[in-house]
Amino acid sequence: MARILFIACGYDGGRSGISVYMREILKRLAGAHDVTVVCTEADRATIPAYPSLTFQVLPRWLNRPAFNMLYVLFAIGWRHRKDDFDFLLLPAANRRAVWRSKWPCVAVVHDLSQFHVPAKYDPFRMFYVKRLLSWAVRRLTHCVAVSGNTAADVAQYWSLAPEQITVLYNGIDREQFHSTPPSDSQEVLARHGLTKPYILYVARLEHPGKNHLRLLQAYEQLPADLRQQYELVLGGAKWHGAEVITTYAQASPCCDSIRFLGFVPSTDLPALYHGAALYVFPSLYEGFGLSVPEAMACGTVVACSANSALGEVAGNAAITFNPESVPGLTAAMLRGLTDEAQRRRLRERGFRRAQDFDWDYHAAELVKLGLTTWRRRHRLLGIIYDNVSMTEALDDIFSSLQNRVRRKIAFVNADCFNKGFVNPAYRELLTHFDQVYPDGSGVALAGRLLGQPVKANVNGTDMLPLLAERAAKQGFSLYLLGAKPGVAEKMRDNLVARFPELRVVGCHDGYCLENVEDDINQAKPDLLLVALGVPLQEQFIADRFASLQAGVMIGVGGLFDFYSGNMPRAPRWLRRLGLEWTFRLAMEPRRMFRRYVLGNPLFVWRVLRHGRR
């Protein structure tokens, strides 16, 4: 059972597609997990109280959207301790996000329509979505996009790296939306005053985003006999710009055939879908378009926009059109109403397409991401590294050895990131390594600055004694390659003195590499430690990986100098403070001045400026 902090702000009183999303996810998390739901006082009454949900209701003054947006962004995380939850779930991160999270975070983005529909909201909200939310979500652990189209938008407009984004399609409630009409269909239609055949569109009355005006204009251009036969029924609560839509409809020559239902409860939707001759969805931009697969599941013929995620979600199971073309919209409705052969094909395809959308799967994957997000790879300054603990890294190495799976492993510290920033060949080289581990306090600092916490400082110097101990116990052999002549041999003697059962099957310095390949292949080590410096050691491993008869090859930098006794390590207390670099600077000021005094501030600046790119 996972302990989840669920931010339900932006619930819209249960009157939007995002509120449907939150209800469906909470319904599936409840009972199986311990969920704390943060919501406004205004929304509390409309969020179902499923089992195992704990509600945390915000003060009344936070009912105001602007205050609520800023409170969630900057303050909400301070109310809880890190140990209270396993992960944070932001079910509508395109509305509410946090700038910093104490927990692994899964941020769900439904759409970025503000980048496609000018003046969709007031200037404050446009700035909030385009600037503040993008800044916040980039700092969080992982982003879920509800469609491939939304994922592309998040990558383009919010500058998230592809590996930060997972596409999870929304689902449909199969108990509610299916091929059999509900038993109360006639009662529902009568309650809404629907006695004639009709064309249906369910979306909030929002202008211009939902494109009601072009739909009204397209309906006006249908042949007169079809307008007399079919009413145009518009379901949805009034939103920004609703008066523009209603005013146009009242002045339309077809006003007697245009019906506004107001907000439609979700329980009425199956009857409305089943009763519709055609479901039309002409929105200018959608991140998913939940009503499209819902209507398909009910066997309703669908015509929808071909743009944004709508064409992706509809697939070949709908008539698609350009939503900015009134003639195109009219033609699509005409085909959907009169072409019986196509209507039969679309019904069959719609039933099949609707099976691709599953809330149970979606909710389960959210939890899986939340609980495994620590294990995911992070991108920093163009380099991808594995966010694992020291124990997990060692387990991976010895699992590979036991299963005879060959591996290339590298470590990256702040200096490596600086080198990679100006050396594309080195960055490219690291993409071919099986594991890349975060080394040093600089990487941990970058993780804190970017909101992608680093699980542990997995450096080669701390790893070696643990590696040698396990290798000795399990009978795996080492080969030491690198450093000045004689250093590898001194390190071998020190290791064998400490771990008498350890088999070191060969040593070779890093200055004369002519015959080293033959020597390694004759020894056939399980572990090959290469200490040639960055990026020479990584290049050596990559170039000779196919020809060397060694199991796991690891680039270890200056490690040999420490374990040969040539160079003392910083005291443990200094290492715990993340200040080992100050000790190395004091020991070798001329050699380390450029790396630490100049390189460390440069690294921090690059992290703040370029981050995960």
Do 428 and 571 lie in one domain? The reply is yes
Name the least confident of 13-17, 109-113, 165-169, 281-285: 13-17
Do 455 and 558 lie in one domain? The reply is yes
Instruction: Answer yes or no: is pLDDT of 478 > 60.
Output: yes
Do 152 and 219 lie in one domain? The reply is no
Q: What are the DSSP calls for 328-359, one per residue?
A: HHHHHHHHHHH-HHHHHHHHHHHHHHHTT-BH
Q: pLDDT tens, 400-426? A: 999 888 999 999 999 999 999 999 999
Q: What are the DSSP calls for 174-216, one per residue?
A: TTTSSSSPPTTHHHHHHHTT--S-EEEEES-B-TTTT-HHHHH
Q: Is residue 364 part of a domain?
A: no
Instruction: Answer yes or no: is pLDDT of 612 > 80.
Output: no
The 3-state DSSP class for residue 521 equals helix
Q: pLDDT tens, 44-68? A: 999 998 888 999 999 999 999 889 9
Overall average pLDDT of the 498-526 stretch: 94
Q: Is residue 291 part of a domain?
A: yes
Instruction: Answer yes or no: is pLDDT of 480 > 60.
Output: yes
Name the least confident of 116-120, 399-403, 490-494: 116-120
Instruction: Answer yes or no: is pLDDT of 288 > 90.
Output: yes
Which amino acid does the sequence have at 437?
Answer: Y
Domain that holds residue 80: 3-167
Do 326 and 382 lie in one domain? The reply is no
Do 399 and 314 lie in one domain? The reply is no
The half-sphere exposure of 531 on its side-chain side, counting CA atoms within 13 A, is: 26
| pLDDT-based confidence at residue 12 (cuts at 50, 70, 90) | confident
| pLDDT-based confidence at residue 606 (cuts at 50, 70, 90) | very high
pLDDT value at position 161? 79
pLDDT value at position 142? 85
Name the least confident of 51-60, 139-148, 258-267: 139-148
pLDDT value at position 519? 94
| Closest-CA residue to 568 (of 594, 546, 586) | 586
Overall average pLDDT of the 545-559 stretch: 93
Do 345 and 435 lie in one domain? The reply is no
Instruction: Answer yes or no: is pLDDT of 141 > 80.
Output: no
pLDDT value at position 592? 85
Contacts of 497 (CB under 8 A, 6+ apart): none
DSSP collapsed to 3 states, 382-411? CEEEECCCHHHHHHHHHHHHHCCCCEEEEE
Instruction: Answer yes or no: is pLDDT of 451 > 80.
Output: no
| pLDDT-based confidence at residue 212 (cuts at 50, 70, 90) | very high
Q: Is residue 69 part of a domain?
A: yes
| Closest-CA residue to 365 (of 545, 146, 547) | 146
pTM of the predicted structure, to 2 decimals: 0.68
Beta strand 383-386 with 377-380 is antiparallel
Do 223 and 333 lie in one domain? The reply is yes
Average pLDDT, the chain: 92
Q: Is residue 225 part of a domain?
A: yes
Q: What are the DSSP calls for 76-104, one per residue?
A: GGGGS-GGG-SEEEETTTTT---S--SS-
Which amino acid does the sequence have at 54?
Answer: T
How many folded domains does the chain comprise? 3
Q: pLDDT tens, 22-47? A: 999 999 999 899 999 999 999 999 99
Do 97 and 210 lie in one domain? The reply is no
Instruction: Answer yes or no: is pLDDT of 376 > 70.
Output: no
* Residue found by looking up tokens 């509600």 in the block: 55
pLDDT value at position 104? 85
Instruction: Answer yes or no: is pLDDT of 602 > 70.
Output: yes
Overall average pLDDT of the 436-454 stretch: 88
pLDDT value at position 455? 86
pLDDT value at position 373? 56
Instruction: Answer yes or no: is pLDDT of 371 > 90.
Output: no
| Closest-CA residue to 54 (of 39, 69, 64, 42) | 39
Query: Which range in 129-133, 143-147, 587-591 is most confidently predicted, on average pLDDT?
Result: 143-147
Q: Is residue 363 part of a domain?
A: no
Do 573 and 544 lie in one domain? The reply is yes
Do 293 and 385 lie in one domain? The reply is no
Euclidean distance between CA atoms 161 and 84, whole angstroms: 29
pLDDT value at position 129? 85
Q: Is residue 110 part of a domain?
A: yes
Name the least confident of 72-81, 107-116, 366-375, 545-554: 366-375
| pLDDT-based confidence at residue 374 (cuts at 50, 70, 90) | low
Contacts of 195 (CB under 8 A, 6+ apart): 189
Contacts of 401 (CB under 8 A, 6+ apart): 474, 476, 526, 527, 551, 552
**CATH number, domain with residue 313:** 3.40.50.2000
Instruction: Answer yes or no: is pLDDT of 481 > 80.
Output: yes
Residue finishing a domain among 302, 327, 356: 356
pLDDT value at position 566? 87
**157: its two tokens:** 């407009």
Q: pLDDT tens, 214-228? A: 999 999 999 999 999
pLDDT value at position 341? 96
Overall average pLDDT of the 380-384 stretch: 92
Distances (CA, A) of 569 to 72, 131, 416, 445, 530: 44, 45, 20, 21, 20
| pLDDT-based confidence at residue 178 (cuts at 50, 70, 90) | very high
Residue finishing a domain among 323, 356, 389: 356
Q: Is residue 367 part of a domain?
A: no
